[in-house]
Structure 1
Amino acid sequence: MHRSGKRNLLRYAGWLPFFMMLITLPAAAHAASPRDIIFGGIAWGLRQTSGPVDPGPNTFSNSPDQVWVDEQGRAHLTLQKRDNVWTASEMMAKKDAGYGTYRFTVSSSVSSLDPNIVFGFFTWDKAPEAFNREIDIEISRWGVKDGPNGWFTVQPYDVPGNQHAFNLPKAASYTFEMRWDKGLVEFVLYCDGKLSEYWKYAGRVPEPGRARLRINLWLFRGKAPQGPGPYEVVISDFSYVPSR
Structure 2
Amino acid sequence: MKKIAFFVFVLSIWCSHVNAQVKTIKWSGYTWNVKEPAEATGPGPNFWSGSNVWIDASGWLHLKVSKNANTGNWECAEVASTESFGMGTYQWQIDADIDKLDKNIVLGLFDYSGTDARDEIDIEFARWGNSEYPNLNYTVYPKAGDPPKHTSYTSEFTSPNGTYTTHRFIRTANSVTFKTLYGHLDNEPRDNLFISKEFKSPQVSISSIAMPVLINLWLFKGLAPSNDQPFEVIIHSFKFTAQ
Q: Given the two structures, how large is their TM-score scaled by the length of structure 2?
A: 0.80
Identity, in percent, stands at 29
Amino acid at match of 1:143: G
Counterpart of 1:176 in structure 2 is 167
Contact 1:173 1:191 in 2 (8 A): yes
Counterpart of 2:10 in structure 1 is none
Contact 2:165 2:181 in 1 (8 A): yes
Residue 230 (structure 1) shift? 2.1
Residue 159 (structure 1) shift? 3.6
Counterpart of 1:188 in structure 2 is 179
Instruction: State how far apart, in whole Å, the 2-side matches of 1:137 and 1:76 are.
Output: 18
Amino acid at match of 1:106: I
Instruction: State how far apart, in whole Å, the 2-side matches of 1:43 and 1:31 are.
Output: 15
Contact 1:44 1:94 in 2 (8 A): yes
Residue 31 (structure 1) shift? 11
Instruction: State how far apart, in whole Å, the 2-side matches of 1:241 and 1:125 are.
Output: 19
What number of residue pairs does the alignment pair up?
207
**Residue segments in structure 2 that go unaligned for 5+ positions in a row:** 1-17, 143-147, 186-191
Could you say what secondary structure the match of 1:132 adopts? Answer: coil
Instruction: State how far apart, in whole Å, the 1-side matches of 2:19 and 2:31 are.
Output: 22
Contact 1:91 1:214 in 2 (8 A): yes
Residue of structure 2 aligned with 1:154, choices 131, 140, 155: 140
Counterpart of 1:67 in structure 2 is 53
Which piece of structure 1 moves more, 227-236 or 70-79?
227-236
Residue of structure 1 aligned with 2:129, choices 123, 143, 159: 143
Instruction: State how far apart, in whole Å, the 1-side matches of 2:137 and 2:64 are.
Output: 20
Structure possessing the higher radius of gyration over alpha carbons: 1
Q: Does 1:236 align with 2:240?
A: no
Shift in CA distance, 216/205, structure 1 to aligned 2, threshold 3 Å = same
Which piece of structure 1 moves more, 170-179 or 73-82?
170-179
Instruction: State how far apart, in whole Å, the 2-side matches of 1:227 and 1:201 are.
Output: 35
Q: Given the two structures, how large is their TM-score scaled by the length of structure 1?
A: 0.80
Contact 1:34 1:62 in 2 (8 A): no
Q: Does 1:205 align with 2:172?
A: no
